[in-house]
Structure 1
């Protein structure tokens, strides 16, 4: 009796100790093939650096289509993993439109829209019938008095809802980690956007600049005024420019003076980084708005050839046409009856990048408009072609006449044999000054002839960073409001900026590959009787079989 009591006590003590240790020390094992539930070290680092309470409201609740239920399930599982790492992370799934009438729902949607939350329409299939429902695939992260909205549904061009949800699940960890980063980390990097050589306007750059401002301090900057100013010297402007970590030159249309070029050159020599979207071709859609619907593409000389050549790059002024191209939307009808019809337009090349490069992996096609191409030259810097046209490319010599009548002519593949052409590239390393062994435009004490390790990005099209504008409102960068297509321009440019500013620790999350199987709703409904029978009869047969086996074994045991 004593031994029995002692054994029971020992078992109780062991269980209590095991329960205590498991509550203090635990480990989750991710047995999925793609490591879906393995949290990256970058996300863990963000959680470690955020000691205060983190609140996450997820607007995926209530009646949802099957695809969104999968997104909800994956989001919940990911949040559970994050909460196991950060005990002060609290999350809740909500339906902000639950039990509201139409007027109340509209008021809630307006309040959410002020925070950047946009609802979407989805379809529920029930008993073979389709029902439209409003879905809000967003989450809001709150930390230390700051809030940010996170889109959980990725915009993917020419895709089904299932493909969009699958792409969204791949980026769930990135989206949540990126949102936490926005509200918990300070902005310590500075970006200057040049505004002095006829660059894209603030409205045309609004979405790109707004996206940058979520992570960095962004400010306009002028240089050319020093050529006419007596109050400030080029040396002082250069000193001020050195305070910025990155300079963006967004489609200049006026030739750069030697003073500006030398300031940018010495900025680069001192370790500053340049992101240049240069348009070597003069051509805009507005030029086609004439009775003949004909325009002439002309070469644009920005006086940058000597500078870029010394850095190991060269812009080509041949106009690129590509069979793999975007659509041009043309208006038909008048007044309220105006509609837009999309036509394939080979002057809008859709460029893709190397899947092994973290900047371009898993990107949607990037849209270029009336673009030239570029070459990389043999210099000490390391070059990487990031985006290129397809192999079915034609390079048109300028000047060239363009006509809207081309949309009625079938594309002849025999004319598109120029091969793939580089459209965007990155050079990294130590650059040689473009003014080495040359007369300088102004006196600069201790001018550098060789740079510190730095980087230069060059695009052969300035419109790569231009968003469309609808009635004075800027649209998302990469969104074509006439055709409804989404392109990867913003994601690509943000990847470039993150990489150049050594802020690429979350880029791997953006490129995470997750394969999620989906249920075929139509097929399952058509075969519902079969699967209902299987789900009811198979468990019953297993139970009956186990019961008969148990009785047979019992009878056999006591028969002897």
Structure 2
């Protein structure tokens, strides 16, 4: 059985997944989740092949963002429904007004893991884009530590990273802290543990700095999602202002924030922290937040970085999603340096829901609400209670197997006698 469907229209074709293989779920839960996902999956497939691309996504460049190869699978999937174009902020230094004007032509700005600080002029361009009703998806690392280098050296130092965006997000109503989230509900990593003959032995260990996040928010973006993998993520603090904030993803109850700078080593996989070691009332740390409302410019009561006749301190209602981990969008690649599917970990063989989550974010921000609201529908299947079946196994067999045969036999006998009586005359 191949749990896929193929939707074709003209020369356009797309695949529709029919089965959601959720990690840790029972067979009944997988069936119910798959049935609940079916309408959205087909609606999205029809939309992909029927609707022409209209809206445009700007992939922001110029501040050390992830290379296209590392977000290749996400871009390859998104371009089926939207136009995509790189947008560098380097031109801000020479002509910030024109850069600001050009960015307004895009419907969504994607900022994927910048590593270099934004200048005040670059920040003003992004700020004015939001104030004018633009949508943005931010994936940020506020702590400098990479898993690739850690695998090479075995240890490293996690230290704060300054992107010069603190005042921008503070104005919008959030603060991204420079701590690391440590979670008992963790994704595994694969490490070499020794030799057996000429073969290297590998084992998997839970890595506490890679939270396995289960979505439970009542929002169509995260409805019916499987586990999402984070890596060296940081907490998001919600502040009081007029912007509506919705926590989309958070850590487990058994998690805590660890201050930086801090040494990190692979031998930490031997740690087995007790739940009692976590602070009382801790856990459930926000990791991804949706912000909706009328944005106020960070330069509302300040001198702007550059003069712009079209500067606005308060503008149209806008939407943005901030994810406190830049690696959520990062895909691995094969030996030929081709992007693997986003969410697939080739070292452990596990598949996470990072891709589905990010695609939902894009659909929501670009107002494809008719499509994404289908995810809010709940389908309750009338499945048998396995415990009651075990208790009344013989009775259940009689009711489900013997009873229909008896009823059929009685009906057949009655029908035969009726025919004989009618035609005997």
Q: TM-score, normalised by structure 2?
A: 0.88
SS across alignment from 1:203: helix
Given the alignment of the two structures, is residue 441 of structure 1 paired with residue 305 of structure 2, yes or no? yes
Q: Does the 8 A contact of 2:186 with 2:206 survive in 1?
A: yes
Distance change in 2, residues 1:215/1:339 (3 Å): farther
Given the alignment of the two structures, is residue 323 of structure 1 paired with residue 184 of structure 2, yes or no? yes
Given the alignment of the two structures, is residue 502 of structure 1 paired with residue 367 of structure 2, yes or no? yes
2:42 alignment partner, one of 176, 180, 183: 176
| Residue in structure 1 matched with residue 295 of structure 2 by the alignment | 431
Q: For 1:383 and 1:336, how far apart are their aligned partners in 2?
A: 55
Given the alignment of the two structures, is residue 207 of structure 1 paired with residue 82 of structure 2, yes or no? no
- Structure 1 stretches of 4+ with a deviation exceeding 6 A read 530-533
Structure 1 segment 81-100 matched on structure 2, within 5 A: none
| Residue in structure 2 matched with residue 419 of structure 1 by the alignment | 283
Distance change in 2, residues 1:216/1:536 (3 Å): closer
Return 5+ residue gaps in structure 2 as ranges: none
How far the C-alpha of 1:264 sits from its partner, in A, is 0.5
Q: Does the 8 A contact of 1:323 with 1:416 survive in 2?
A: no
Q: For 2:91 and 2:221, how far apart are their aligned partners in 1?
A: 35
Distance change in 2, residues 1:159/1:336 (3 Å): farther
SS across alignment from 1:182: helix
How far the C-alpha of 1:186 sits from its partner, in A, is 0.9
Structure 1 segment 474-493 matched on structure 2, within 5 A: 474-493=339-358
2:13 alignment partner, one of 138, 144, 147: 147
Distance change in 2, residues 1:549/1:332 (3 Å): same
Q: For 2:11 and 2:189, how far apart are their aligned partners in 1?
A: 45
Q: Does the 8 A contact of 2:217 with 2:247 survive in 1?
A: no
Distance change in 2, residues 1:342/1:240 (3 Å): same
Q: Does the 8 A contact of 1:322 with 1:416 survive in 2?
A: no
- Rg comparison, structure with higher value: 1
| Residue in structure 2 matched with residue 20 of structure 1 by the alignment | none
Q: What is the CA deviation profile of residues 161-192 of structure 1, one whole-angstrom value per residue up to 9, with x for unaligned ones?
A: 66545433322222222111111111111110
Given the alignment of the two structures, is residue 392 of structure 1 paired with residue 254 of structure 2, yes or no? yes
Distance change in 2, residues 1:180/1:338 (3 Å): farther
Q: Does the 8 A contact of 1:371 with 1:461 survive in 2?
A: yes
- CA RMSD, 1 decimal: 3.0
| Residue in structure 2 matched with residue 343 of structure 1 by the alignment | 205
More strand by share: 2
Distance change in 2, residues 1:537/1:357 (3 Å): closer
366-375 or 140-149, larger mean C-alpha shift: 140-149
Q: Does the 8 A contact of 1:156 with 1:364 survive in 2?
A: yes
Q: What is the CA deviation profile of residues 96-129 of structure 1, one whole-angstrom value per residue up to 9, with x for unaligned ones?
A: xxxxxxxxxxxxxxxxxxxxxxxxxxxxxxxxxx
Q: What is the total number of aligned residue pairs between the two structures?
A: 410
SS across alignment from 1:370: coil
Q: For 1:167 and 1:160, how far apart are their aligned partners in 2?
A: 11
How far the C-alpha of 1:253 sits from its partner, in A, is 0.4
Q: Does the 8 A contact of 1:224 with 1:259 survive in 2?
A: no
Distance change in 2, residues 1:539/1:277 (3 Å): same
Q: For 1:338 and 1:454, how far apart are their aligned partners in 2?
A: 53
| Residue in structure 2 matched with residue 36 of structure 1 by the alignment | none
Q: Does the 8 A contact of 2:171 with 2:296 survive in 1?
A: yes
SS across alignment from 1:209: helix
Q: Does the 8 A contact of 2:217 with 2:249 survive in 1?
A: no
Given the alignment of the two structures, is residue 217 of structure 1 paired with residue 79 of structure 2, yes or no? no
Q: What is the CA deviation profile of residues 333-366 of structure 1, one whole-angstrom value per residue up to 9, with x for unaligned ones?
A: 6799455422111111122334422222211122
Q: For 1:244 and 1:396, how far apart are their aligned partners in 2?
A: 38
1:239 alignment partner, one of 94, 101, 104: 101
1:191 alignment partner, one of 33, 57, 73: 57
Q: TM-score, normalised by structure 1?
A: 0.67
SS across alignment from 2:304: coil
Q: For 1:537 and 1:386, how far apart are their aligned partners in 2?
A: 52
1:313 alignment partner, one of 165, 174, 185: 174
Q: Does the 8 A contact of 1:394 with 1:415 survive in 2?
A: no
